[in-house]
């Protein structure tokens, strides 16, 4: 297998349902990562266009079957990072509401009692001004799962225009922090690590620059009263 660090903005959609190898998505991903073309690689799983982080690719049909089985059976452990608005209470918990397609907007998912099982564990790493830095471990792999679970509990991902997290920076009073949050152009969601112990796989990806830049801005102390900000 091959592990790549997907940049935000790269689409992993395939050109047709019959394209099992995901050749078009693999080609875009390799180009974005400045890797040479490789027609042997097969797509194992996907990340949303705006999500950055670890993606696994298989070099053979046998490897594809093993990786797919591990991901679908729950043997693989995925860890994400997200900057979300507000401070979830409690600081560590599980979201387990089923999800289904929003009948009013086919782009979106929503909580749906008749939908598919979806489980997301989270814990708060840091409570920052207006925002929480979260670590999330999805036990299932539903479309937009983390984004919908967080938004449905009042904590949309920073920069997520589809689920209400793109404009809340307007309520931030400090101008430096407001500018940093307003500059976000994608959901600040990052696939930080994938572990498949049975296959000896443990790969991780460092936080991307835009995520770190917002963290730095939120962690910086406010200017003393009377001083000019920035």
Active-site hit among 5, 38, 48, 61: 48
Q: Is there a contact between 190 and 223 (Cβ–Cβ < 8 Å)?
A: no
The two three-digit tokens of residue 173, written as one number: 């009073």
Q: What gap in Å lies between CA 147 and CA 203, rounded to an integer?
A: 23
Contacts of 225 (CB under 8 A, 6+ apart): none
Token pair of 225, please? 């009263």
Alpha-carbon gap, residue 209 to 30, rounded angstroms: 20
Overall residue count recorded for the chain in this entry: 230
Query: What are the backbone angles phi and psi of residue 31, rounded to the nearest 5°?
Result: -65, -40
Task: Determine whether 48 is an active site residue.
Answer: yes
Helix (H) / strand (E) containing 53: strand 52-58
Which helix (H) or strand (E) is 42 found in, with range? strand 42-43
Report the SS3 class of residue 10.
coil
SS3 17: coil
Cβ–Cβ under 8 Å, residues 22 and 42? yes
Query: Active-site residue numbers?
Result: 48
């Amino acid at each position: 297998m091959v592990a790549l660090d997907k940049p935000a903005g790269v689409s992993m959609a395939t050109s047709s349902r019959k394209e099992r190898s995901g050749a078009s998505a693999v080609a875009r991903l390799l180009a974005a990562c400045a890797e040479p073309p490789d027609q042997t690689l097969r797509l194992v799983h996907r990340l949303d266009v705006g999500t950055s982080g670890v993606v696994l690719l298989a070099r053979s049909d046998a490897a594809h079957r093993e990786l797919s089985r591990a991901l679908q059976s729950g043997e693989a452990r995925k860890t994400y990072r997200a900057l979300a608005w507000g401070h979830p209470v409690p600081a560590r918990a599980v979201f387990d509401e089923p999800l289904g397609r929003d009948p009013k907007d086919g782009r979106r998912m929503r909580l749906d009692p008749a939908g598919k099982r979806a489980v997301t564990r989270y814990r708060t790493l840091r409570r920052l001004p207006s925002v929480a830095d979260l670590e999330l471990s999805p036990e299932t792999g539903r479309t937009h799962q983390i984004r919908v679970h967080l938004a449905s509990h009042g904590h949309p991902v920073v920069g997520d225009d589809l689920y209400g997290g793109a404009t809340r920076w307007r309520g931030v009073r400090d101008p430096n922090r407001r500018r940093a949050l307003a500059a976000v152009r994608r959901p600040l969601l990052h696939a930080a690590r994938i572990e498949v112990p049975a296959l000896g796989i443990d790969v991780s990806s460092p936080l991307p620059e835009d995520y770190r830049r917002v963290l730095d801005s939120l962690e910086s102390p406010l200017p003393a009263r009377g001083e000019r900000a920035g």
